Structure 1
């Protein structure tokens, strides 16, 4: 099974060459799913969403796309306060949650971004107990043998030594609940750097995997996306970095499946 994981394209500030090249790369490969884990836009402007939607239409199907904190309008304050993801939903699709079910694969996307929240930095993440419960109920109804993947924008636990933080309220509790329920993988973006690590809960075989950016907002890491490949024994995550002319493997992690 092969899944392309992209994130943080930030249309309005995208790396134009990398965005075009990844479209061509995806078109020539056999993929079971394309995942985009948020921040399709820079400021949540209508023109940025139009560019993001046009780009998504050129990518292979099926797709699962979830919003990020940059997908709430930055300058349109009324919209940000009262309908933070209305623009996203008009251009891209459902913001609250998304699902994909196929033979051997169950994927649930949820929104960890908020338009406003009771702290100074609104870019950080939140995940509610209700969101976790709804995701787990959906997974419980999926075939037991499925590879179970959660997609969200913010990493639920912090990347050690990462270029920035997610500070997800209720993130640790959510990670623990997903691990104890047997979720295999949690895909995220936000920090603009690829990584993997096991959650320290359950049997230790629930993994976080973060994706880099395809924007010019580099944080010491070149633009990249991840290729996730699975078989019965392992999950392999390869970060493919943009060299300026092509995507090349930067690092591969091999994660043992339960």
Structure 2
């Protein structure tokens, strides 16, 4: 388990032309911790969920980041004992925590227990009722509830942005200097990120088109998402999306964002040693379709060639914001 950060931190995962805040700002981004004090096994490696989140807290503390951003599914299924276990780990975090709920964190119609609604989740781990904005260093975090659309999950774990949230986003995104949108579900389809993926439609926002249209009007928005458990990034129509890996399932890791006047560098930060990575891979490969899909992308060289995208320089080194160079 990684408990200290050395000078290299981790390999560069992406170089982005935006955001470009005047004030250098560092965020440690994590997702899909699925903390459970009792569950074991499965492709999500539940029995490591607490220790992997603890490793993420250690890294955030060692790096003295401006904030730790959690992109949802903090818990296995929204039970109080899971939140209590997560709280015990997060109590050691030195940096401010900013979090959005995932589909596993909010009430569902089939629950036989009381899970906190999104407002209660925001009061505990965010900045109150969603949506909200918070300034972190030189960045403006716009935090959305895509997991419950303001209510209870019914027959699906798909995501949606409520009409009220979309109106808020339309107003707010033009009021801030360097917008970073934090949410659980994806703006782009997994195939736009990494090609084919099992049950790919499940991971994207149902109403992704109007959300993307709002963000595309600025041409410098970075969207942070979780849910997929697959670290990846893409850009379309001026909107960049960065999907964080899970802290517990393969590959257990977080992302370090370092934003400044020259753009944003993203580093992939492992949260397990070689043995832990191997265990997570074996469980993913033997797991359900989702886990097997991630293992298959690893087999195809998911992290073999980094950075995944480089849009900060052209072939002679000049800035070219908005022009992606895929690796």
Q: TM (normalized to structure 2)?
A: 0.65
Correspondence for 1:105: 139
Match of 1:4 among 20, 28, 32: 28
Q: CA, structure 1 residues 129+247, in 2 after alignment: closer, same or farther (shift >3 Å)? A: farther
2:261 pairs with 205, 214, 232, which one? 232
How many Å separate the matches in 1 of 2:67 and 2:220? 18
What is aligned with 1:147? 178
Bigger CA radius of gyration: 2
**152, 157, 166: which one aligns with 2:203:** 166
Gaps of 5+ in 2: 1-24, 37-45, 278-302, 313-320, 323-327
State the distance in 1 between where 2:230 and 2:224 align.
Answer: 12
- SS at 2:174 equivalent: helix
Q: Write the distance in 1 (CA, Å) between the matches of 2:311 and 2:260.
A: 11
Tell me which moved more, 173-182 or 150-159. Answer: 173-182
**For this pair of structures, how many residues does the alignment match?**
241
State the alpha-carbon separation in 2 of the partners of residues 54 and 15 from structure 1. Answer: 13
The Cα shift of 1:162 comes to 4.0
Separation in structure 1 between the aligned mates of residue 142 and residue 276 of structure 2, nearest angstrom: 28
Q: Secondary structure at the match of 2:63?
A: coil
Aligned mates of 1:91, 1:103 — CA distance in 2: 22
Aligned with 2:34: secondary structure? coil
Give the alignment's TM-score, normalised by structure 1: 0.81
Query: CA RMSD, aligned part only?
Result: 2.7
Cα deviation for residue 193 of structure 1 reads: 0.8
* Change in 2 beyond 3 A, CA 1:207/1:247: farther
1:1-258 matches, within 5 Å, as 1-12=25-36, 13=46, 14-73=48-107, 76-77=111-112, 79=114, 84-85=117-118, 88-89=121-122, 91-93=124-126, 94=128, 96-102=130-136, 104-114=138-148, 115-117=152-154, 120=155, 122-142=156-176, 146-160=177-191, 161-162=196-197, 164=200, 165-199=202-236, 201=237, 204=238, 206-215=239-248, 218=249, 221-244=250-273, 251-252=306-307, 253-256=309-312, 257=321
By percentage of residues, which structure has more strand?
A: 1
- Unmatched segments (≥5 aa) in structure 1: none
Structure with bigger RCO (C-alpha 8 Å, 6+ apart): 2
